[in-house]
Each structure stands twice: as structure tokens, then as C-alpha cells.
């Protein structure tokens, strides 16, 4: 995946990365070309080993349930259009027909999602072994927007740039032609989860025709944890300094005793 330069996205990422009295919010809006290079090629070969059955780019994988429906407390049966979306799709592949109301994804698209995570968070984190069930396909842009607003809609920073944000994304990727995915690990399995992480969201906006991906991510962490870590680090530094001082004094004492003993032996001789 190749990161595409977008000054508007950089400005929006900065504007939506804010601190409140109790927490810190880090946001990123990035655009990627689905172009393989370097580590992407290695991952592609790893995921599409011709010797392994079910590993071709067109083979299908199961996804998790849509995160926006869960987060907004919406049941697919409550909305006719969603009911149709979840239950009435047909596929030629026998595997997909047997999945019923479970969403599926091709291994090639899964590769794009995982590669986007790797490109965004490299070199600190590696998502190469992420399971397809940790991703979800979202019903529509409207549900993605509502989910984002549910998290950060009360922030003045978001309300100031809300229209600009979605207009910029539309200009970059043509939202009318896109599919929408999310990455939804639990905090225990998320390699990016930090102590004190309060919530996060990760949305992918994928235009297959353009072979382009927009990644929209936000993470909120508690400032109290950072403060306690700072205190722990200071205490640790003090303990280490004290230990080093004690070790230095002990070494000096031993050296002095040895020198004194050697002098006494020399005098006796």
C-alpha cells in the first residue's frame, strides 16, 4: 500500500487530535493506493500460497457482524433495507450461499485491509496475522457517519470540520462507489491497544474501481494512566540511580580495602 499525499487529510488529522481534561484523542485520516511494494508483496505471498487450499485471492473468508449496528444498538430486522442487505444477497459460490446472514470477504480485499493497517501503524505494530472475523462490512456510509458522531460528535473540533471532513473524503475516493469496512478487535487482541485505552474506531472506505483506500481511525486514552506511568518511570529512575550509587560506593569500598591490604602485605614483607 502506498500512502498518498493529501494536505487536507493531514490538517484534519491534526484538528481532530485533541486533549480534554481527562483524555487524549489521536485521529488519523489517510489515503492509500492499493499498490503492492516491499512488505506488501511478502504478505501477499504469505496469504495466497498456491500450495494451501482456500488461499487464492478469490477465495472467501467470514467477517464479523457489522460494528455500527452493534454500537448504535440497531437490529437488522428493525430496518427493511438492512434486512434485505443482510439476508437476501445471492452469490454464485456455494460457500457464500451457505453463509446465510454472515458477511464474507475475498482474501484479496482482506489483504488490502490488513496491508492498510500495517502501512498506517508500521513499524510499531504488525497486523499480518489478523483474522478475517476481526473485520466487518458496514451497511452504508450513513451508518459509518453516525457511528463516528456517536464517538466524537460532542467535540467542538469535530463539529467545526464535520462537513469539510466528509467532503474531503468524498473528493478523494467518491463515496457513492465505495464499500465500508471496520476493524473491531477486542482490547486484549488489538496490538495497538494501550493501557488506559477508553475506546477506538477504525473504518476503511474502499473504492474497488479506483483501487484506493481511505483509512479513518480514532483512539481515546486516559491521561491518568499516562500520569501514573510518568510517576512510575520517575520512581524507577530514582531506584536505579540509588542502586548505581550504592554499587559504586560498594565497589569503591572493596577497592579501598584491597589496596589497603596489599599495602599492609608489602610493609610486612
Does residue 219 contact residue 196 with C-beta atoms inside 8 Å? no
Q: What pLDDT was estimated at residue 73?
A: 63
Q: Regarding the domain delimited by 2-223, which CATH topology (the fold level of the hierarchy) does it fall under? A: Protein Transport Mog1p; Chain A (3.40.1000)
Segments in the chain below pLDDT 70: 37-58, 70-101, 187, 189, 191-192, 226-269
Cell of 45: 505471498
The CA distance from 215 to 9, in Å, is: 10
The CA distance from 112 to 135, in Å, is: 12
Q: What pLDDT was estimated at residue 123?
A: 86
Q: What pLDDT was estimated at residue 107?
A: 85
Q: What pLDDT was estimated at residue 67?
A: 79
The CA distance from 104 to 113, in Å, is: 14
The CA distance from 185 to 135, in Å, is: 8
Q: What pLDDT was estimated at residue 99?
A: 46
Does residue 132 contact residue 63 with C-beta atoms inside 8 Å? yes
Q: What pLDDT was estimated at residue 128?
A: 84
Q: What pLDDT was estimated at residue 239?
A: 47
For the full predicted model, state whether its pTM sits above 0.75: no
Cell of 111: 489483504
Q: Shortest CA distance to 144 belongs to which of 115, 172, 179?
A: 179
Determine the 3-state secondary structure of 124 from DSSP. coil
Q: Compute φ and ψ for 23, nearest 5 degrees.
A: -145, 165
pLDDT single digits (tens) 57-89: 667 888 998 877 766 665 544 444 444 444 334
Burial (Cβ within 10 Å: 0-12, 13-18, ≥19) of residue 116:
buried
Amino acid at each position: 500500500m502506498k500512502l498518498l499525499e493529501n494536505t487536507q487529510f493531514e490538517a484534519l488529522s491534526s484538528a481532530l487530535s485533541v486533549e480534554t481534561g481527562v483524555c487524549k484523542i489521536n485521529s488519523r485520516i489517510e489515503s492509500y493506493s492499493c499498490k503492492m511494494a516491499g512488505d506488501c508483496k511478502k504478505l501477499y505471498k504469505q496469504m495466497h500460497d498456491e500450495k494451501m487450499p482456500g488461499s487464492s485471492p478469490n477465495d472467501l473468508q467470514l467477517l464479523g457482524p457489522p460494528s455500527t449496528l452493534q454500537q448504535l444498538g440497531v437490529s437488522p430486522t428493525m430496518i427493511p433495507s438492512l434486512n434485505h442487505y443482510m439476508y437476501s444477497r445471492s452469490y454464485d459460490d456455494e460457500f457464500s450461499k451457505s453463509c446465510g446472514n454472515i458477511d464474507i470477504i475475498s482474501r484479496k480485499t482482506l489483504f488490502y485491509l490488513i496491508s492498510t493497517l500495517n502501512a498506517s501503524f508500521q513499524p510499531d505494530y504488525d497486523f499480518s496475522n489478523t483474522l478475517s472475523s476481526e473485520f466487518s462490512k458496514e451497511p452504508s456510509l450513513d451508518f459509518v457517519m453516525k457511528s463516528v458522531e456517536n464517538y466524537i460528535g460532542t467535540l467542538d473540533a469535530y463539529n467545526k470540520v464535520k462537513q469539510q471532513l466528509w467532503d474531503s473524503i468524498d473528493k478523494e475516493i467518491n463515496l457513492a462507489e465505495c464499500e465500508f469496512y471496520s476493524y473491531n478487535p477486542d482490547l486484549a487482541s488489538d496490538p495497538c491497544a494501550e493501557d488506559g485505552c477508553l475506546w477506538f474506531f477504525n473504518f476503511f472506505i474502499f473504492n474497488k474501481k479506483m483501487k484506493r483506500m481511505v483509512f479513518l481511525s480514532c483512539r481515546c486514552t486516559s491521561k491518568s494512566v499516562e500520569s501514573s506511568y510518568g510517576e512510575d518511570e520517575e520512581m524507577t529512575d530514582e531506584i536505579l540511580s540509588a542502586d548505581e550509587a550504592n554499587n559504586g560506593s560498594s565497589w569503591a569500598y572493596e577497592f579501598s580495602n584491597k589496596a589497603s591490604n596489599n599495602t599492609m602485605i608489602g610493609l610486612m614483607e
